[in-house]
Amino acid sequence: MGSFLALKINHLISHKMSDMHLLKSTIKKLFGKKAWIELKKNGSLRVWKKYLIKTLDAIHISVNETVVIRDESWVEAISENIELGKSHIKKATTFDEAISVFSSTLIHQSFIQIGLMPNRSFADSVNLRKENWKLDSFRSIIIVQNPEQVESVFWSVQQREIGFEAQLKLKEEHRYSKSKLSYSEWCKSRLS
């Protein structure tokens, strides 16, 4: 009877984990096919915890390597949130608990990166009026692009829209035209 119950519980856990197709696909985008295969074939809590923690580590590294202008208290808040999430995921004894911790950590991360994680625990209710969600009392976020990044975004979007081969032909035309305009500006000028 005990082994039947254990098999049933393992089946339910495996079934629940196999339902996480979007999360598995996202982890595959981050870490490649091997991660997806590990999650699909094994799918144990241990493997899921490994990739949830690895995802938090990747976010932490990305923030440190990408955000150039930042204050020390923001960096500390990011690090504390990630480390707290990782420690709770390590302690999780169920799949639901691990996913709950991961989700909570990402919500906190999102608001910290915007500027401030609000704490309205004592409020009866908070509506979605803009003034309740302007979170710039500690810092403001500015997103900028250098010319290379503008070109990179344009290249990526254009490739999805027209395909790789058509894009290469246009790039070749741009080069032969000897235009002083950047590739993206040249393409946009052709449409006007």
Task: Let me know whether 173 and 80 are in one domain.
Answer: no
CB atoms within 10 A of CB 157: 11
Q: Check residue 190 and give its pLDDT.
A: 87
DSSP state of 115: T
* Residue 141 maps to a domain: no
Band the pLDDT of 7: cuts 50, 70, 90. Answer: low
Q: Check residue 19 and give its pLDDT.
A: 72
Give CA–CA dist 28/30, Å, rounded: 5
Q: What is the pLDDT of residues 14-23, one digit of tens each?
A: 545 557 889 9
Task: Let me know whether 169 and 79 are in one domain.
Answer: no
Contact (CB, 8 A) for 44 and 84: no
* Residue 21 maps to a domain: yes
* Residue 49 maps to a domain: yes
DSSP state of 180: S
By the 10 Å C-beta count (0-12 exposed, 13-18 middle, 19+ buried), 147 is classed as: exposed
Structural domain span for residue 166: 147-191
Q: Is 178 left (phi over 0), alpha (psi -120 to 50) or beta?
A: left
Q: What is the pLDDT of residues 103-129, one digit of tens each?
A: 999 999 999 999 899 999 999 999 999
Last residue of a domain, one of 81, 98, 132: 132
Band the pLDDT of 6: cuts 50, 70, 90. Answer: low
Task: Let me know whether 70 and 34 are in one domain.
Answer: yes
Q: What is the pLDDT of residues 33-62, one digit of tens each?
A: 999 999 988 889 999 999 999 999 999 999
Contact (CB, 8 A) for 141 and 133: no
Q: Check residue 15 and give its pLDDT.
A: 47
Q: What is the pLDDT of residues 164-173, one digit of tens each?
A: 999 999 999 9
Q: Could you give the number of structural domains in the chain?
A: 2
